[in-house]
Amino acid sequence: MTETEAKKIGRKLGLKSALIGLTIAQIIMTSFFIGDGLLKAFFWFADFSYNLNLAVASLLLLACGYYFGGKAGMQILIQKKESSWVGFKFCFLTLFVTSFFASLIGFFQEGVKNIGTDDNPFEDYLFKPMFWVLLFGILPVVAVGFWLGRKIEKQDEKYMH
């Protein structure tokens, strides 16, 4: 297997993992609003005032899935590192990078003007959003990360036969 093939496999599965992650995030958020009725709960983002953050986060999650998926493919298929933990590591990095940069948007939109006031924009626009995303995202990251690692590893087994 070549490095190019390993990256291609990892990127493809990294994108699938990112789409699974977006689906899980949608399910989590829908469950928060289920008392409003299923249709309204499913479209929870329609009444959400941070749609730019959500759009950027969704695109960034896909881009990170692609990028880090390629890295995972290299580490698992070429460097022969342990697949489950490599998958977890890169899925966690994807979630962390995505939540950080999506939080920065809110910080620059609204938080910067509150620097030096009684408000704490670093806490409100960076720490808190990242905390909640990582808290609710850690279990899906473990599951999807282990899945990603194993799926990449299985591609090596298919390639060998």
DSSP letters of 12-67? Answer: HHHHHHHHHHHHHHHHHHHHHTGGG-HHHHHTGGGG-S-HHHHHHHHHHHHHHHHH
Mean pLDDT of the chain: 92
Q: How far is CA 33 from the centre of its chain?
A: 21
Question: Does the pLDDT of residue 160 top 80, yes or no?
Answer: no
| pLDDT, tens digit (0-9, with 9 covering 90-100), for 51-107 | 888 999 999 999 999 999 999 999 999 999 999 999 999 999 999 999 999 999 988
Confidence of residue 140 (pLDDT cuts 50, 70, 90): very high
For the chain, how many structural domains are there in total?
A: 1
CA–CA dist 20, 61 (Å, integer)? 11
Q: Give the pair of three-digit tokens for residue 40.
A: 């309204």
Question: Does the pLDDT of residue 29 top 60, yes or no?
Answer: yes
Exposed / middle / buried, residue 65 (Cβ in 10 Å: 0-12, 13-18, 19+): buried
CA–CA dist 58, 18 (Å, integer)? 9
Question: Does the pLDDT of residue 33 top 90, yes or no?
Answer: yes
Single out the residue of 130, 124, 122 nearest to residue 92, CA to CA.
130
DSSP letters of 107-126? Answer: IIIIIGGGTTSSS-HHIIII
| pLDDT, tens digit (0-9, with 9 covering 90-100), for 117-135 | 778 888 888 999 999 999 9
Q: Print the domain residue range for 69.
A: 3-160
**H or E stretch covering 76:** none
Question: Does the pLDDT of residue 116 top 80, yes or no?
Answer: no
Global model pTM greater than 0.95: no
Q: Give the pair of three-digit tokens for residue 10.
A: 């990892």
| pLDDT for the residue 153 | 95
CA–CA dist 33, 40 (Å, integer)? 8
Rg (the chain; Cα; Å): 18
Question: Does the pLDDT of residue 161 top 70, yes or no?
Answer: no
